[in-house]
Amino acid sequence: MFFSLDLLSIRGGKMNTIWLLGTLKEKEKIIKKKKSELLKNDLKAICRELVARFPVQGKEVSLSLRTSSHLVYGVCVNLRVQAQELRRATLRLLSVKAVPRQQAIDLPTATSAQVTR
């Protein structure tokens, strides 16, 4: 089978976005539109699902090699987006400067002789 309509054409499905990332040339448009979805994707689960559908001799239900390679490339692009966001957040945290606390001023204690003056 060349591609699975159940897997790729479900509106709002996670493989739909991965397929678009793997096949379209204008990846930046998709990344801008669906950035929050890409950051929430569980890439480990997606990879497990892809491995279950890789073409293996003797399997009746599998994706073609070309389709599976497009999907794996889409997962790589999604991983790059997540890594860039993690780097951006880390740099933002590192750029925050610590504000020193106001230290209490150590004044000499008042003696009875100084108070009577």
pLDDT in tens, 15-65: 888 888 998 888 888 889 989 989 999 999 999 988 888 877 777 777 888
Region 94-112: mean pLDDT is 76
Instruction: Give residue 72's pLDDT.
Output: 93
Greatest extent of the chain over all pairs of C-alpha atoms, in Å: 103
For residue 113, pLDDT beyond 80 = no
Region 1-10: mean pLDDT is 56
pTM of the entire structure? 0.71
- CA angle, residues 60, 63, 69, in degrees to nearest 5: 150
* Residue 31 CB coordination number (10 Å): 17
